Amino acid sequence: MKKIIAVSILCCLFHFNSFSQTFQSIERIDAVTGKSTDLKSLISGKAMVLIFHSLGCPYSKMYEKRLIAMRNSYSNKGIRFVLINPESEIDPESQKVLKSYIDDSGLNMNYLIDEEQVLVKQLNITKIPEALIILNTESGLNVVYRGAIDNNPQAESAVSERILERAINQVLRNEEPSPATVRATGCNMKSF
Q: Print burial letters for 139-152: b (CB count within 10 Å at least 16), e (below 16).
A: eebbbbbbbbbbee
Structure confidence at residue 183 (pLDDT): 95
* Confidence class for position 139, pLDDT limits 50, 70, 90: confident
Q: How far is residue 137's CA from residue 135's CA, in Å, rounded to a whole number?
A: 6
Mean pLDDT for 96-109 is 90
Structure confidence at residue 65 (pLDDT): 95
Structure confidence at residue 13 (pLDDT): 39
Q: How far is residue 3's CA from residue 79's CA, in Å, rounded to a whole number?
A: 43
Phi-psi region of 63 (alpha: psi -120 to 50; beta: other; left: phi over 0): alpha
**Would you say 115 and 98 are in contact if contact means Cβ atoms under 8 Å apart?**
no
Q: Which CATH number does 21-188 carry?
A: 3.40.30.10
Q: How far is residue 116's CA from residue 8's CA, in Å, rounded to a whole number?
A: 41
Torsion sign (Cα): 73, 35, 134, 99:
positive
Q: What is the pLDDT of residues 8-61, one digit of tens each?
A: 443 443 333 445 677 777 899 898 888 999 999 999 889 999 999 999 999 999
So where are the chain's domains? 21-188
